[in-house]
Amino acid sequence: MKWQGRRGSGNIEDRRRSGGTRKAGGIGGIAGVIILLAGLYFGFDTSSFVDLGGSGQQTSGGEVTQADEQAAQFVSVTLADTEEVWAEIFNTQVGENYTPPTLVLFKGATQSPCGGASGASGPFYCPADQKAYLDTEFFVQLENQLGAGGDFAAAYVVAHEVAHHVQNELGILGQANRIRQQVSDTESNAISVRIELQADCFSGIWARLAQERFNSLERGDIAEAMNAAAQIGDDTLQSNAGRTVQPHTFTHGTSEQRQRWFRIGYESGQIASCDTFETNSL
């Protein structure tokens, strides 16, 4: 993925250093991306569906290394790309203005209106404050534990988190979560799968338009994203963990489903093609 030299986003809140928060514009690289896949690995990437309370901004920092700064720059540029792409999509396909999310970088632990965040919980999007939360300590797990290396695999996961914000902007996320609170666990999980697969589809739309707008894709990038989608499918994660695959517990979709919906978005470039809630064939 060609990303160096492009603008970084101003919508990044950096909590990685103790003693408060600060704004970060464009900082740089591959390692912060880790966060995102790790979140999917632990099953928390879209959360914030539950109000766990707490709205402080405590952070248990630690040394911010050069690798951390490179990671932050990569995330910043990728976030900026999503801002431009989704502004265009909202203008042409929705007829409304797009308001981008803020991305919170933290190291160790922090708080959100949706509850505490830590390296163990992974990345997530919180509708209450319209922020995505990422810990930049997960590069090793991303590549070595999840088997999903590559910068575009990481960019795909950033795009997936932003896609939950897009769902929130469109009113989809709030409606789906209200229904989830009124049904059984199995039914709630099934709705969650549809939310996640739509986010994968939206990520595919982003990848297509990012290529058209920035010419940022390189040979093998889509394969990296497809591999990431495969590695974080519920069936693959349960199997790799030595557990019996239990479809009724799925919250994100199978590897095949995640790959297929990413591909649908990438090939169509249209929000209308990503309606996972009206199809009987996921």
Q: Kindly report, residue by residue over 3-13, the tens digit of the pLDDT.
A: 888 899 999 99
Phi-psi domain of 182 (left: phi exceeds 0; alpha: psi -120 through 50; beta: other)? alpha
CA nearest to 163, candidates 261, 92, 51:
261
The helix or strand, by DSSP H or E, that contains position 162, with its residue range, turns out to be: helix 151-169
Does pLDDT of 221 surpass 80? Answer: yes
Instruction: Give the model confidence (pLDDT) of 145-174 as tens digits.
Output: 777 777 887 888 789 999 999 999 999 999
Does pLDDT of 140 surpass 50? Answer: no
Least confident of 39-43, 59-63, 120-124: 39-43
Does pLDDT of 210 surpass 70? Answer: yes
Average pLDDT estimate for 202-231 = 92
User: In the beta sheet, which residues pair with residue 129?
Assistant: none
Going by C-beta distance under 8 Å and a sequence separation of 6 or more, which residues neighbour residue 17? 59, 61, 64
pLDDT value for 228: 87
pLDDT band at 28 (very low <50, low <70, confident <90, very high): very low
Greater confidence, 71 or 215? 215
Residue 278 in contact with residue 194, Cβ under 8 Å?
no
Q: Where in the chain are the domains?
A: 12-272
pLDDT value for 133: 87
> CA 120, CA 38: separation in Å to the nearest integer?
8
Does pLDDT of 227 surpass 70? Answer: yes
Secondary structure of 74-137 in the HEC alphabet? HHHHHHHHHHHHHHHHHHHHHCCCCCCCEEEEECCEEEECCEEEECCCCCEEECCCCEEEEECC
> Which range, 82-96, 130-144, 155-169, has the best average confidence (pLDDT)?
82-96
